[in-house]
Amino acid sequence: MRIILLGVPGAGKGTQAEFISNRLGIPALSTGNMLRAAVKAETPLGLQVKDLLAAGELVSDDIILNIIKERLAEPDCNPGYILDGVPRTVAQAEGLEALEVEVDTCLFFDIPDQAVIDRLSGRRSCPECQAVHHITANPPQTEGICDVCSTALVQRPDDTTDTVGRRLEVFREQTAPLIDFYTAKGILKVVPSEGTVEEVTARVFDVLEA
């Protein structure tokens, strides 16, 4: 199974990617997580993209295609993969095709803007392992502490109200054309993404198993 997850920030891609990964035994590849790890480690790539991430702007298609190409070459991707947050532009989708990256299904997480603004304000992320929690919808067992690795949770700098607005605009301008792109290929499946994590997970597997 080779799956793309498409949707605005906060639609639930990262959370559902973990469930799909565990159920199907295929890795979830998040370009956002890879870039944040590079920023944290202050690698040359990290230093190059740090300000773009903080501003909610997209990193160049070339950089993204390079990092995803390298990751897909690792053997754990042989049985399949989940692409979380990539492609984000039609040029990236075409670049993946040129690299002969196969895709069976594109899941579009469909949710109104206001619902994601509410969600992102309560999102708390682990700076160490990148696990995602929410103060009310998916609270950690101990307040403020990551369930997975016990690191103190933080609010991502790009989850603040100002930047969220820009990220929604960037989605509309640069990423939304992918809805038509994958519809035309006959592989787009819509997942209504309001509701609880469990409700959305049930819809994801209904769609994948249909």
The answer to the question of residue 88 lying near ligand AMP (CB under 6 A) is: yes
Among 52, 103, 115, 179, binds ligand AMP (CB under 6 A): 52
Q: How many helices (H) and strands (E) does the chain have?
A: 9, 7
Site string for ligand AMP, 175-204 (x = CB under 6 A): ------------------------------
CA distance 193 to 203: 8
CA distance 142 to 122: 16
The answer to the question of residue 9 lying near ligand AMP (CB under 6 A) is: yes
CA distance 43 to 51: 14
Say which DSSP state 152 is in: B
Give yes or no: 13 in active site.
yes
Give yes or no: 36 in active site.
no
Which of 71, 119, 123, 203 is the catalytic position? 123
Q: Which residue has the tokens 């070339």?
A: 62
Q: Can you spell out the DSSP letters for 41-91?
A: HT-HHHHHHHHHHHHTPPPPHHHHHHHHHHHHTSGGGTT-EEEES---SHH
Among 6, 58, 101, 168, binds ligand AMP (CB under 6 A): 58
What six digits make up the tokens of 150? 């016990």
Q: Give the CA radius of gyration of the chain.
A: 16
Only segment of 49-57, 104-112, 140-148, 186-194 that touches ligand AMP (CB under 6 A): 49-57
Chain residue at closest Cβ approach to ligand AMP: 32
The answer to the question of residue 86 lying near ligand AMP (CB under 6 A) is: yes
Which of 88, 119, 124, 203 is the catalytic position? 88
Give yes or no: 88 in active site.
yes
The CB-of-209 to ligand AMP minimum distance in angstroms stands at 26
Residues contributing to the site for ligand AMP (CB under 6 A): 9, 31-32, 35, 52-53, 56-59, 64, 85-86, 88, 92, 158, 167
Give the active site residues. Answer: 13, 88, 123, 156, 167
